[in-house]
Amino acid sequence: MDSALCHFFRCQCGAELQLPEPMLQRLAAHLGVLPKDVTSVALSCHHCKLVQAYALPAIDARISPVKGLSWFWRELPCGEKGCQSPLTVIAVRNATTMTEEECDKDFATWEWGDELRCPHGHPIAQANTRRYL
Ligand SMILES: [Zn+2]
Ligand SMILES: [Zn+2]
């Protein structure tokens, strides 16, 4: 795939985050919902690694090149006792391929934004995200 419809978001650091539609579809399938029912998406910035939730539809969506992009996701456990709904965070990177080890190294550098919540609206506890490593 050379190009695809992409959703664009703006990180606090100024970097433009690109989420190709096929990734959104896979996320929706993973969550067991329709793509149109995904109202927000948590992304890790490729530049500053900050994890933030972004509302959908995005401020901007257009056909854009996706060749040379890799992506992976990690699930952050909910901070609420007994809640089994993790927050799925997507990372899109400029890399043709990424090994599992490279993904883990990248994940270890993530910064946690405010207001990270599980699909049920519970806060994601930073202690929990650390325990996940
Ligand atoms: Zn950033
Ligand atoms: Zn929860």
Q: Are strands 111-112 and 50-55 parallel, antiparallel or unpaired?
A: parallel
Q: Are strands 16-20 and 3-10 parallel, antiparallel or unpaired?
A: antiparallel
Q: Which ligand is nearest to the CA of 46?
A: 1
Instruction: Give φ, ψ of 107 to 5 degrees.
Output: -60, -35
Q: Which ligand is nearest to the CA of 80?
A: 2
Q: Which amino acid makes up residue 87? A: L
What distance in Å separates the CA atoms of residue 46 and residue 17, rounded to the nearest whole number? 8
Q: Which ligand is nearest to the CA of 91?
A: 1
Residue 50 Cα to ligand 1 middle (Å): 6
Residue 1 Cα to ligand 1 middle (Å): 26
pLDDT given at position 126: 64
pLDDT given at position 3: 95
Chain-centre distance for alpha carbon 36: 17
Residue 76 Cα to ligand 2 middle (Å): 10
Identify which of 2, 56, 47, 48 has the alpha carbon closest to the alpha carbon of residue 27.
56
Domain boundaries, the chain: 3-131
**35-58, pLDDT tens digit by residue?**
889 999 999 999 999 999 999 989
Ion ligand 1 — residues with CB < 5 Å: 11, 13, 15, 45, 47-48, 50
pLDDT along the chain (133 residues), means of 10: 94 96 95 92 96 93 95 91 93 95 94 88 70 44
CB count within 10 Å of CB 90 equals 19
